[in-house]
Amino acid sequence: MSIEIDWLAFLSVFAGAIVGAVAIVFFYALGLRMLVRAGRVPVVTPAEFTDAITVISEKEIKRAAKQAAKAARKSPLTEVQKNLAFLAAIGCFLLCALAVAAGIFLIVSGGH
């Protein structure tokens, strides 16, 4: 009994995984950047867990929201530019979602 490895298939799957991962991370980061440029800084309040090592206080949450609002007001872009940046952010996030959906489809369908 001998096991043979199709190295060409292995390399193509490896390359596809690397390219897919880099594309998803790139478009997600670009989407966040465009979201910030559009003046819509995402402020996510952290979940509080009873066994957490550090818990962010209400004061720190309010300060982060205040800084995000201040950054949104200081944007040098016009309203049209902000809207275009927001549309670009949505496009980037859609590309991320499509890449993930395509990967799931390839896994489920067996690559056929």
**Residue 85 and residue 38 in contact, taking contact as beta carbons nearer than 8 Å:** yes
Domain ranges of the chain: 7-109
Q: What is the pTM of this model?
A: 0.69
Averaged pLDDT in 10-residue chunks for the chain of 112 residues: 87 90 94 88 66 69 81 77 93 94 87 62
pLDDT in the model for residue 41? 76
As given in the structure block, the two tokens for residue 67 are 């800084």
Separation CA 30–CA 87 (nearest Å): 12
Residue from 99, 92, 84, 98 nearest 28 by CA: 92
pLDDT in the model for residue 76? 79
pLDDT in the model for residue 55? 64
